[in-house]
């Protein structure tokens, strides 16, 4: 501001003054009549998207030329068999009452139940399990109750299931239709003839439906698991078959994706005994699919380096694992004293390396599973869910891991001495603070990874 003073420039440029002038105008323009300014501001100060109802329009009504009155008049309905006369309010226009049938009479529809004659019964419709009286009664009921079989079954004097009644009714009607038709071709299009009632199928269907509807949550989960499992296997089979063609990545991509989803859904699908072997099987089937597709793509190269091939296979094997898991695998390899990339990558060495990586992946998966199960167990014990999945039996696992890993770092030769000292800190630290949540696992597997 001062600078402008010194320079002699105008304090505020012209556009601002213009804005100031227009703003109060716009403000008063924006405020509509009929609503107070504050209420209008609630809408955000803008015109609503829906056209608002103009109050003036509400009171308007087109002036009608006719004279309308309402009168209490008698009426009859064609739907009734008797001559009952009832009364109701009728809209009379210019003195003329409404004409025509009662407006609801047209809804009085009924089913065309075929009635047979006695001769027809003797000729076509006899059945060992049904007497004529029963059949007659059935048809009476059908007409009376408009084919509402559940009601018919309820009222039927002898106990018959709904399926039996339906079966009798439909087969009788079908037989009559065919018998009465001048030629079979004419009734071939009739739904009764085209699709006859299938008792066994219907019974089965209803039984299955009731089973599905009455499933417990537990059962539902198990079913979902089995279906997902079947899908995975089918897709890995497809992928393995599709290996013959070069353009196959789509199917094999689905494989690991599904495996990842299945593993990721470990918390929604409650792990059960069924799940453990299936979890072990499923990743291996999808990894198998990956392997075969990688092999196929390598073969297409005609020439490649063994290290490149190993890289591809490792990638394929870890495709279902996240970045963290891969890092854990690499850390495990280092702890075991194995080179992340083999120094002498011969065919045998590469094969062993790949198998080792896969086994480590399995190991990590199992560890995670164990964790979930322990969390489940402790939540059952506490009776509350939402526990941190980190309250495992520490003594069990931590001690095991100490025992397995520390001694072996010693056995791998002098170069590991440096690492051994580093490792000492890890387990030592763990022993010092047994209950601190930050040190639930030895250093190599961080709690944050889980």
Question: Residue 254: in which H helix or E strand, if any?
Answer: helix 249-264
Neighbours of 156 (CB within 10 A): 18
Q: Does 203 bind another protein (CB under 8 A)?
A: no
Selection from 163, 189, 181, 198 nearest residue 124 by Cα: 181
**DSSP string of 55-84?**
HHHHH--PPPSS-EEEEEEEE--TT-SS--
> 63 is written with which tokens?
């002036």
Backbone angles phi, psi at 158, to 5 degrees: -85, 145
Could you tell me if 248 and 301 are in contact, meaning their C-beta atoms sit under 8 angstroms apart?
A: no
Distance (Å, rounded) from C-alpha 47 to C-alpha 24?
A: 17
Q: Which stretch binds another protein (CB under 8 A): 88-96, 120-128, 141-149, 340-348?
A: 340-348
Distance CA 112, CA 187 (A): 16
Q: Which of 161, 272, 331, 391 binds another protein (CB under 8 A)?
A: 272
For another protein, the binding residue among 124, 197, 257, 337 (CB under 8 A) is 337
CB of 345 to another protein, least distance (A): 6
Indicate whether 298 belongs to the interface with another protein (CB under 8 A): yes
Within 8 A by CB and 6+ apart from 68, the residues are: 91, 92, 93
When asked if residue 219 is in the footprint of another protein (CB under 8 A), the reply is no
| CB of residue 80 to another protein, shortest distance in Å | 56
Binding mask 373-412 for another protein (x = CB under 8 A): xx-xx--xx-x------------x---x---x---x---x
Q: Which stretch binds another protein (CB under 8 A): 121-129, 304-312, 320-328, 424-432?
A: 304-312
Pick the stretch among 54-62, 156-164, 194-202, 358-366 that binds another protein (CB under 8 A): 358-366
Q: Could you tell me the two tokens for 270?
A: 């409650």
Task: Output 181 or 370, the one with its CB closest to another protein.
Answer: 370
**Which residue from 125, 107, 104 is spatially nearest to 116, judged by alpha carbons?**
125
Is residue 270 helix, strand or coil? coil
User: How remote is the C-alpha of 411 from its chain's centroid?
Assistant: 52
| Shortest Cβ 408–another protein spacing (Å) | 6
How many chain residues are in contact with another protein, going by CB under 8 A?
A: 53
Q: Where does this chain touch another protein (CB under 8 A) — which range of 123-131, 188-196, 268-276, 433-441?
A: 268-276
Piece of the chain touching another protein by CB under 8 A; list 51-59, 63-71, 233-241, 367-375: 367-375
- Interaction of residue 355 with another protein, rule CB under 8 A: yes
Interacting residue ranges for another protein, rule: CB under 8 A? 217-218, 272-273, 276, 298-299, 301-307, 309, 332-333, 336-339, 342-349, 352-353, 355-356, 359-360, 362-363, 366-367, 369-370, 373-374, 376-377, 380-381, 383, 396, 400, 404, 408, 412
């Amino acid at each position: 501001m001062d600078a402008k003073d010194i320079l002699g420039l105008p304090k505020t440029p012209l556009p601002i003054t213009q804005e100031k002038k227009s703003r109060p105008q716009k403000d008063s323009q924006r405020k509509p009549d009929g609503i107070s300014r504050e209420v209008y501001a609630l809408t955000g100060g803008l015109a609503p998207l829906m056209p608002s109802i103009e109050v003036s329009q509400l009171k308007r009504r087109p002036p009608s030329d006719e004279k309308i009155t309402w009168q209490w008049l008698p009426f009859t309905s064609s739907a009734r068999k008797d001559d009952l006369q009832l009364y109701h309010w009728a809209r009379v226009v210019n003195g003329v009452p409404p004409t025509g049938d009662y407006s609801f009479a047209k809804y009085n529809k009924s089913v065309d139940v075929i009635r047979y004659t006695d001769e027809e019964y003797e000729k076509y419709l006899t059945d060992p399990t049904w007497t004529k009286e029963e059949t007659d009664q059935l048809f009476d009921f059908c007409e009376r109750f408009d084919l509402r079989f559940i009601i018919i079954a309820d009222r039927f004097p002898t106990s018959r299931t709904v399926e039996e009644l339906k079966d009798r009714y439909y087969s009788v009607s079908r037989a009559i239709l065919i018998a009465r038709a001048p030629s079979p071709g004419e009734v071939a299009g009739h739904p009764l003839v085209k699709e006859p009632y299938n008792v066994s199928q219907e019974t089965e269907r209803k039984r299955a439906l009731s089973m599905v509807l009455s499933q417990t949550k537990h059962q539902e989960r198990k079913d979902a698991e089995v279906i997902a499992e079947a899908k995975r296997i089918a897709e890995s089979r497809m992928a393995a078959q599709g290996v013959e063609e070069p353009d196959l990545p789509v199917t094999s991509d689905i494989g690991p994706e599904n495996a990842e989803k299945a593993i990721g859904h470990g918390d929604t699908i409650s792990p059960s005994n069924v799940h453990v072997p299936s979890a072990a099987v499923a990743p291996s089937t999808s990894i198998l699919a990956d392997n075969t597709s990688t092999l196929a793509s390598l073969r297409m190269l005609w020439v490649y380096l063994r290290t490149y091939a190993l890289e591809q296979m490792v990638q394929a094997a870890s495709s279902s694992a996240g970045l963290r898991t891969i890092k854990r695998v690499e850390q495990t390899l280092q702890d075991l004293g194995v080179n992340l990339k083999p120094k002498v990558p011969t065919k045998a060495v590469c094969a062993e390396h790949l198998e080792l990586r896969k086994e480590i992946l399995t190991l990590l998966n199992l560890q995670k599973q164990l964790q979930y199960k322990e969390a489940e167990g402790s939540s059952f014990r506490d009776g509350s869910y939402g526990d941190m999945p980190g309250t495992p039996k520490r003594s069990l696992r931590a001690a095991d891991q100490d025992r397995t890993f520390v001694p072996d770092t010693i056995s791998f030769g002098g170069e590991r001495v440096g690492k051994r000292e580093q490792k000492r800190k890890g387990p030592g630290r763990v022993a010092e603070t047994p209950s601190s949540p930050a040190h639930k696992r030895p250093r190599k597997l961080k709690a944050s990874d889980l």
